[in-house]
Every structure is written in C-alpha cells, then in structure tokens.
Structure 1
Amino acid sequence: MIKAAGLTFIVAVMAACSSLKNNRQEYKEPYRLQFHFSPKAKWVNDPNGMVYLNGKYHLFFQYYPDSTVWGPMHWAHAVSKDLMHWEQLPIALYPDSLGWIFSGSAVYDKDNTSGFAKDGKMPLVAIFTHHNPKLEKAGRKDFQYQSIAYSLDEGTTWTKYAGNPVLKNPGITDFRDPKVIWYAPGKKWVMTLATKDHVTFYSSPDLKNWTKESEFGQQSGAHGGVWECPDLFSIKAGGKEHWVLLVSVNPGAPNGGSGTQYFIGNFDGHTFTSTSATTKWLDYGTDNYAGVTWSNTGDNRIFIGWMNNWQYANRVPTQVWRGATTLPRTLELREVDGAYFLSAMPVNTFNTLRQKEVRWQNIRVNDSLDISAKVKNFKDKFVLQFKTTTLADFAIKLSNTTGEQLIVGYDKQTNSYYIDRTKSGETSFETGFAKKIVAPRISQSGNITGKLVIDAASAELFADDGLTNQTAVFFPGKPYTALTLLAGNLNMETLSYAPINSIWP
C-alpha cells in the first residue's frame, strides 16, 4: 500500500511537471507575444461579448478549435482580474442547428428585464449573430440573424434561448455583429447592428423583442468595404456628454485592408447624428481591427482589438496559433482646434508589468544613439517613452544581426508618423505586407510625446498621448537585439526604456 501510494504520488508530480513544461512551450514559440492575449492554440479573430462583472473582465472571442485558419466560428472565453493576465476557459458557445456563432456582445441584466434570472441570480446575456452556412450555400440572403444565450454562473455555462433567433433577417446578406447597451433615459436596450454598408439601430425592453429605430452611415465615413463590428457608447468631455460610434470596415482602411473608423455625435435613443466633418480612424496601423469596448465598466471606456488584418490574417507565419489581441486601451475624447478626437492609451495596469526603467534627460541626438548599448540585458519586449523639445525628424530602429529591421518614426515635412516594416523579417506570405505604414499627426503641440510598445512580433505606437496610434505586426527571423535612435538634430527632454515581463507562466 505504501509503495502504491508513493508511486501514485510520483506519477502525479511527473504529470504536473509535464503540464507546466508543455504550458511553457506553448507560449515560447517563434513570434509568440509575451504580454498580449492569444489562445494556447488555433485560430482567433474578433473580440466578442466583453463584459466586466464582480472583479473579472470577460473576453469572449471568435475561435476555430480545429485549425489555424478561419472556419466554423465558436465563442471562446478568457477572464482576467487586471486586463493583463488571462486565463483561457472552455469554449462558451458552439455552433448549432441555427448556424455558426459569429460576433456579438454581452450585457449584465441586473434588473432581469429578460426574465432569465433564477434563485436571485441575475443573468449575463450574450447577443450574437447566427451564421447559417446551409442557407448561404443555397443562395439565400437571410442566412444571418441575431440570437441570445444566458448564463447564471458568471459566464461558466450558457443556455441558448429556445426562441432564437430574436431578430430575423429582412433580406440583407451582411446582417451581423450586434453590440447592445442599456439606454437609461429610455429604459430600454439599444442594439447597434452592422447591415452591409451602414448600421441599423434596434431597441428592446427585454433583449428578446426588437424594434427597428433608425439607420446611419449610407452617406458617411469610409465605404471601401463592408461595415462590421459597430459599437455605440457615450463619453464625457468638455463638461457634456458625447456619443461615439465605432465601425470597422474591410477593406478600405488608410493603409490597406481592415481598419476601424469612428464618428462623434449625438444619440437620442432613436437616431444617431454625426458631427464629424471628416472620416476619423481609431488606429492608422494595419493591425487593429474589429475592436469594441467592455460593458458594465461605468464611465471607463476600455477597448481591445484583434491584432491582425484580413488582407493576410490566414497566412501570417505562426504555426501553433494564429491571431492575438491588442493591448487593452482606455478611450477618451480630446479637443484639437475646436474638434474632438478619440485618444487611446494602454490601461494603467499595463504599468504593473514594467521592470526597472532606465531613464535619460536632456539629451541631444545629432546622428544616432545606441539605446541597447546603454541597457543591461536588452530584450525585444519593452516600452520606450520619449518627449522631444521641438518638432524634428527622428527614427527608432530595431534590428538584428541578419540585417532585418523595423523602423518607427516621425517625418516633419509631411507631419506624419510611420512604421516601416519593409525589411522587418518574413514578409513573403503577402505582397502588400512589406511597406511603410503612415499616419497623420493630429496634435498641434510644438513637441512630441510618444510611447512605443514592442512585444517580440508587434509594435504599438501611442503618439501625443494617444491622439495618433499605429499598431503593426512583424515577423523577424531572429529576435531584434539592437535599438537605435536616429536623428539629424533632435533634442530629447526625456527618454526611457523599460523591459516588460511576460504574462505567461
């Protein structure tokens, strides 16, 4: 008996050690991001159903568990207490007889308007698009419709509503991605739905019965492709309430492929009216798409996007998994020359991952400054923060011993920022990948502040306190080992480098 018990103990310890080893290997593959969420394996795209409840941020996401390319969609599930460290949970919603589970949202029905509560437990309700491949193959237009499911154990298990679909398709080929909010003045739920080349607003008292309110967008914004993943929310600035409408479009983004535009205006519970005179973009990089905000976070607007682009998403050179999310970002409205713009900056909890900072003050760069030479044990996962005293050309170059390089910089003549991944590493998987990605400078300040976040195979530039943002992925053959600041004549008031800890075990 003692020997048997001892053997059982040894086997258990070996199994636990093997599990830990495998987990480390899962998050040590080439190009694996170390402080952005990605699934252990297989395909991921749009973030879905993001809701905050009882100290946990829930992140559902489009997922295909059988391949690393897009296929029949499920809702996978992860949770976090700080928006940084994530625990991947079992798949939440599987395809069924009504179709695959496309994008949508989730709300906390604290007043039980849906009637799903039981034994005092209020429901989480997921609102999603059912995509019926059989109807699509048959040539029907009404193969997408909206359905709901509810959870009484904070998202662990879900029950699909027996009356699905709750919003039938009127005959529109692209009828999807419901984002639902509670509109308190009207005591009703409001759904913002992508309907081909515009959005349509619906309302409901109970999440089950929906009435059309209005449409927006046929003559507004960018129309290079289909509209997707809308998000309507209120945000305060300048002593008043404004309404923001996010809309992803594919293709038609400023630098090709997928991107997210936004409109600022007013919403009265029935109609959205834009006050934006021009098309505005949340991120001018190539790899921030289908992003939306968390619900049930009060006045704090927290956004996360899919860090990829439909132009090459199925072909990026990762093997075990494919896809990741951006850093979670706090959204605010800022006024520039009488007009409002969205700013986006990493959430504050990102700072908890920072290691000891190396900092310089009042330095002049006349040619180049080798930052990596001034840092012990330079790593290619870091945040670089800087503030210039004037406007002048500069470039931040990441490079390795094989000559591959990623360049992030500012061009004074065009007053624009850029990320140049022409020689960044593996680019052959898509002809348009190797290029210079350009973003206009929105701020009118006489100096530049910047935060550049690098995570092994991703770059996120937050310029001028998040007024101009760029997100881009890249795939170097070897990790970058050198960080150099290039400038003809540049005064830096402050410059700092801090390595970032991995979030994985």
Structure 2
Amino acid sequence: MYYNGIYHLFYQYNPKGAVWGNIVWAHSVSKDLINWEALNPAIYPSKHFDINGCWSGSATVLPNNKPVIFYTGIDPDNYQVQNYAIPANLSDPYLREWIKPDDNPIVVADETMNKTAFRDPTTAWKVGGHWRMLVASRRKHRGMAYLYRSRDFKKWVKAKHPLHSVANTGMFECADFFPVSLSGDNGLDTSAVGPNVKHVLKVSLDLTRFEYYTIGSYIPEPRDKYLVDKNFVDGWDGLRFDYGNYYASKTFFDPSKNRRVLWGWSNESDTAQDDINKGWAGLQTIPRKLWLDPSGKQLLLWPIEEIETLRGQKVQLSNQELKLGEHVEIKGITAAQADVDVTFTIPNLDKAEAFDPSWTNAQDLCGLKGSIVQGGVGPFGLLTLASENLEEYTPVFFRVFKSQDKHVVLLCSDASRSSLRESGLYRPSFAGFVDVDLATEKRIPLRSLIDHSVVESFGAGGKTCITSRVYPTLAVFDNAHLIIFNNGTETITADVDAWSMGKPNKMNN
C-alpha cells in the first residue's frame, strides 16, 4: 500500500528458515518502490485466532486515511479465519507496530463451507453504504470467491451468493478484484465503478500453481454480480499475468502516480535443501504497472518507470541484420544484471510455418519447437545468461506460425538449457501466445530484465510476460553473455537498447 508518502510491502516470511513454516507478515518500506528498508515483522502469531500462522491478505486505506490490514489466521483447530489489524501509532511514518483488536476474528467460515480452505481476503471496496471484500475458497472441486459486506468495517456478513465461482478449478487462492479504466493507462481507486470502468478478477490456482484472470462487468446493485466478458476462458486455459514462475500476485492502487501496480512472487526452481543451503527462498519480481489494452481483450503489464533509475552503461545496435543461424553478442554491459529492449523487424512473413490447430498449449509447443529447432520466421530473440561456449543459456524468443486466417505468435522463455546442474532443478519451457497483428506491424518488441537467477520478459509491449528462475553455473557475474540470434530461414533485423543495471540501495531517510 501507499500511505503518507511511503510504500509498504508486506509479505509471507519464515524468520526461522528458508522453507515453509512459522509464517509471519514481514514488512519493508520504500519511497520509490526500488530502494527498500526491511523492518521488524508487522504481524506474527500471538493470539488464539492466529496462533498457528498469519497467512496472506490485503491492506485497505479507509477514507479517513486510516489503514487496515485483513489477513488469514490459523486458529488452534487449524481452521482458517479472517482477522484485521490496525497501526498502533499513526504518527509513526513507518507504521512499525500493528495491533490485533480483541473482536477478531471478523469472518469465519459457516457450516456449509470448507474451514481449512478459506483464505486471502482482498482489499475492500465501497459502493453505496456497504464495504465489500472477497475471501478465496473451494467447494469440492469448484473454486469460490465468497463475498462479504459491512457497513462499519467490523461486522461482516456473507452475501447469499459468491461473487464468482468456477467448476473444476480446485482451490482459489490470493484472489484479487479491481477496476480498470476503459481509456488510457491510469489506474483507478479500488472502489471505482461506472460506465468507463471494467473489472478484473484474478485467482491463483493451487492445483496448477499458475494464475488466471478474466475481465468483465461488475454490477453492484441490487446484488453484487460479476459477469465475465464474452470470449474469455474462465479457468485453466485462461489468460495469465505471467506465463512463468509467478504466483500469489497482488495489485494496489498507487494514488501518488495514479496507477495500479502489480507485485508477483517468484519461487525457487531448485530443491528445498538448496534453499536451506543458501539461506533464503523466493523473491518479489519487479513491480509492474497494469492497465487495460485498448482492445479490451487483455491487460498490459510493464516494469514500473522507477526501475530505469538503476540503468548505467548503455549500448545500442541499430538495424542489425540476422540471417539464419547468426548470433551477435551485445557487449559492453553487465550481462548478468541488465535491462535489454529489442525491436525485431520481420520484412516478410511468407516463410512462416503452418500452425497445427492441435497446438493449444503454448508451453508444450515451446518444448516441441525450441530455440535451436529451425523454423521459417523464427525462432529469433535473446540468449540470456549464456556461457561463452553456450553450454548454458536461457533463450527468450519469438516464433511465428501461419494459421488459416492469421499469424500465430509464440513467446518462449526456455529454462531447459539454463544450467549444467543435472538434478534437482525444475527447467520448464515456459511460453504464451502473443495477440499481435504482425501482418500490419511487421515488427515486435521484447524487453527483458536479467538479474542473475531471474529473467523477466515482456513481449509486444507487455501483452505476454514470462518470468524464469534459472541457476547457471558458468554464466555467472562477468562470465555471463547476452546474445541476439535468429534460427529462422527468414532474415530479420534487430534494434537494441541495453543497459547495465546497478544495485538498489537502502531507502534514503
């Protein structure tokens, strides 16, 4: 949340180890979303209603400028109950201490509900005289987003109907429900409704460990309804914020810059023992600004502008021609810690290979058609975190196919060759399709943020995003290389802007 000039990031944390357990709410503060200072945990198990854990939730800043945290506590029966906490001292700019009032819990599951699958309350929003919030759950195999209403922010009543539910998804987690503007890229306060507003419902699915979102219409009166727009897939094959190692994300409205900002968690791809050895596990990805694509068919995500303050040495390549099999190294920057923005121009699409309609799963297709499998138009893109002789590399690349009536564009971030370590690593070929009209544009941009074990990539201006966690053994520090390549028969050209990235500092007081 943003409060009185300070950003507050609360996150699930085990202060006693690098694996799951002893979960508290860690607390860090920043003035710019880049340079952070870690404080003591804001919330930790201390009362009967959270004695077995303080799990995820949300913050809401009330109209009287008082912040309230909702969170899931695990009680002595291991039931999941919803609690609230308030700052002990509003005059402390860092809000270091939080109080859990004695009227907790404020929401408990009733007898019709699953008391051990009932968690992650959302930021609240207000329409008319009532506040609303969602709690994620499941009923057998159906994902549930239960709706609660309150007049005073303390007494909450479950609505007769859930705001939304989907069959055969399994457990909803970390639900997020927020408005987006139909015009422009400004964010909206979470309580915004009206004719120029659409709503987004995002759920994290425990069974797949991926997240999915839909866009639709929210009708608050007479009873709250969320109607998914036509042509949206609502479930396992739906749209995602990120097609890679990305989960449990959460947005907030940043009133200082009138934007909606998305945080996502990227967990490790190595083993629990590896995590114990290094003493930490999991990280937050770079915050992303989020808004509605002008088509209305999807969201756009882009790294917050503040990340550019870390840019250092810059190199440029202009109109670099790439024929079949050609590799060109981008020299002069720190390839292990870089921000690289490439625009690929494709003069001719005639050689695009035929698209098989059975290729419905992008990740499977990327595994089948990897970066070294020669194509017509592509594969072309970046080799990130590459060792000198390409024993290790993580390619991020496009491949263009021709279906009956349009071109199909695939974006891949393939970890299968990312490390020489032979066991204990999850090395998927992450991928997503990109909704672009190449026949008109003839060009497609790709931006990647590379940071030692993380590669965050943004295709076509943020239409398709993929985060990969990789663990190179050779391509580390000064031994990492960054290369543009083309393994398609169609010659393409690349325009590159690339920067060495510096390290953040602790927040300036």
Q: TM-score, normalised by structure 2?
A: 0.78
Match of 2:37 among 57, 74, 87: 87
Name the counterpart of 1:468.
464
Match of 1:357 among 293, 308, 314: 314
Change in CA separation of 1:316 and 1:242 when aligned onto 2, cut-off 3 Å = farther
Distance in structure 2 (CA, Å) of the matches to 1:325 and 1:490: 38
* Percentage of pairs with the same residue: 26
Work out whether residues 285 and 438 of structure 1, in 8 Å CA contact, stay in contact via their aligned partners in 2: yes
Distance in structure 2 (CA, Å) of the matches to 1:361 and 1:193: 51
Name the counterpart of 1:175.
118
1:441 aligns with 2:387: no
- SS of the residue 2:308 aligns to: helix
Match of 1:408 among 392, 396, 406: 396
- SS of the residue 2:471 aligns to: coil
Distance in structure 1 (CA, Å) of the matches to 2:388 and 2:459: 29
Distance in structure 1 (CA, Å) of the matches to 2:464 and 2:266: 17
Q: TM-score, normalised by structure 1?
A: 0.79
Distance in structure 1 (CA, Å) of the matches to 2:448 and 2:422: 26
1:137-192 Cα deviation digits (max 9, x unpaired): xxxxxx01101010123521111011000011214121110012232x32432111
- Written as runs of structure 1 = structure 2, the 5 A alignment for 1:226-375 is 226-238=171-183, 240-252=196-208, 258-269=209-220, 270-276=224-230, 277-279=232-234, 280-295=238-253, 297=255, 299-308=258-267, 314=272, 317=275, 319-336=278-295, 339-366=296-323, 367-372=325-330, 375=331
* Structure 2 portions without partners, runs of 5+: 184-194, 350-376, 402-407
The amino acid across from 1:162 in the alignment is D
1:366-395 Cα deviation digits (max 9, x unpaired): 1323323xx225431101111122263103
- SS of the residue 1:356 aligns to: strand
1:162 aligns with 2:162: no
Name the counterpart of 1:387.
343
Distance in structure 2 (CA, Å) of the matches to 1:79 and 1:451: 27
By how many angstroms is 1:426 displaced?
A: 5.9
Distance in structure 1 (CA, Å) of the matches to 2:155 and 2:273: 41
Distance in structure 1 (CA, Å) of the matches to 2:68 and 2:241: 30
Distance in structure 1 (CA, Å) of the matches to 2:41 and 2:131: 27
Work out whether residues 285 and 472 of structure 1, in 8 Å CA contact, stay in contact via their aligned partners in 2: no
Name the counterpart of 2:367.
none
Distance in structure 1 (CA, Å) of the matches to 2:436 and 2:172: 28
- SS of the residue 2:309 aligns to: helix
Name the counterpart of 1:44.
none
Distance in structure 2 (CA, Å) of the matches to 1:286 and 1:468: 10
Work out whether residues 25 and 42 of structure 2, in 8 Å CA contact, stay in contact via their aligned partners in 1: yes
- SS of the residue 1:351 aligns to: helix
Distance in structure 2 (CA, Å) of the matches to 1:210 and 1:428: 52
Which piece of structure 1 moves more, 62-71 or 445-454? 445-454
Distance in structure 1 (CA, Å) of the matches to 2:248 and 2:70: 16
The amino acid across from 1:389 in the alignment is T
1:503 aligns with 2:500: no
Work out whether residues 446 and 457 of structure 2, in 8 Å CA contact, stay in contact via their aligned partners in 1: yes
1:33-84 Cα deviation digits (max 9, x unpaired): xxxxxxxxxxxxxxxxxx1011111100001100100002100100111111
Aligned length: 424
Name the counterpart of 1:127.
70
* Structure 1 portions without partners, runs of 5+: 1-50, 112-121, 137-142, 253-257
Distance in structure 1 (CA, Å) of the matches to 2:254 and 2:472: 39
Change in CA separation of 1:71 and 1:85 when aligned onto 2, cut-off 3 Å = same
Work out whether residues 388 and 490 of structure 1, in 8 Å CA contact, stay in contact via their aligned partners in 2: no
By how many angstroms is 1:355 displaced?
A: 1.1
Name the counterpart of 1:396.
382
